[in-house]
A = this chain, B = another copy of it.
Amino acid sequence: MTRPSPSTPFCAAIDWGTTNLRIWVLDQAGGVLGERASGEGMRACMPDRFEAVMEGHLADLGAPSGLPVIVAGMAGARGGWREAAYLSAPVELDALHKGAFVVPHPTRDVRILPGVCQRLPGREDVMRGEETQLAGAMAQGLADGLVCLPGTHSKWASIEAGRLVSFTTFMTGELFALLGHHSILKDTLGEGGFEPDDPAFRGGVEDMLEDGAAITGKLFSLRAAALLSGAAAPHPRARLSGLLIGAEVAAARAMHGIGREVGLVASGTQAELYRSALGLAGFRFHVLDGGALVRRGLLDAARALWG
């Protein structure tokens, strides 16, 4: 009998977003040998700082100096580390590595995966990072369907036969923050959270499913309701969240119908809110783990390059 040898590092994988980065050292089977997370996102890094930030984390993780590194996300944007030019949808999700930008480095093979753009007039769109999550979802078996990735800029992607065919970004999270911080609704909305099962959330979703076009005419009523009803008014933060998520889900339903199952990439409260909204809209859905997806997408790109 021999003891199994300790796994050998195969690559480092980095999900380098706007505000955060996550880095994993992976073996060839995708086993996690070490990981770190930090707030050194693209916004916190000048272009000449990315390498030092990466090397700092790799040293802490004990990564060998020749370990190759695969990167996804905003590090590849203009003004990031190095610009990895967009691929143009439709794209094969298992071929992202072919468009990777090779970052000059003294000891390592470092590559940044490309984002994806959409050049349809009036529906121009871009993503960086989500395409790698989608590649991970495909590697997990999602060859056809819709994927909803909620957030500051929520994205809905349509996957057909392993290709990312089209996508739409909704400014749902950013609008919620803008209205809460800078608009006439600021005092009405106040601070703090709300329970995902708050009836005011559900009511907002239902209003938008009934008539999504009315969204800009529903916002002011949050303030009017508070003026007229005081504490008896429905929880305005919950209702606003319902209106904005409802508008997103209603538009996605109008665009795609409800015939295809939705992969929902979310966790915690956000997942509960979207589960509720998707259910009210009649979508079938299952929940996916965004961290696991991006790691899988990065691993598969690394395997295609170096495996």
Contacts and interface: CB of A to CB of B under 8 A. Distances in A.
B169 A221 contact: yes
Interface of A: 78, 86, 117-119, 122-126, 153, 168-172, 174-175, 178-179, 181-184, 203, 207-208, 211-221, 223-225, 227-229, 233, 244, 247-248, 250-252, 254-255
Contact of A216 (B118, B233, B251): B251
A105 B208 CA distance: 49
A211 B171 contact: no
A302 to B, nearest CB: 28
Oligomer copy total: 2
Closest 7 CB pairs of A and B: A212-B213, A124-B225, A169-B220, A124-B224, A214-B251, A170-B217, A126-B224
Contacts of A224: 117-118, 124-126, 169
A254 B214 contact: yes
Nearest to A215: B215
| Interface of chain A: mostly helix, strand, loop or mixed | helix
Interface centre among A124, A213, A218, A220, by most B CB within 10 Å? Answer: A213
Contact of A220 (B171, B207, B213, B216): B171
A171 B118 contact: no
Contacts of A228: 86, 117, 119, 124, 126
A127 B90 CA distance: 48
A222 to B, nearest CB: 8
A127 B210 CA distance: 25
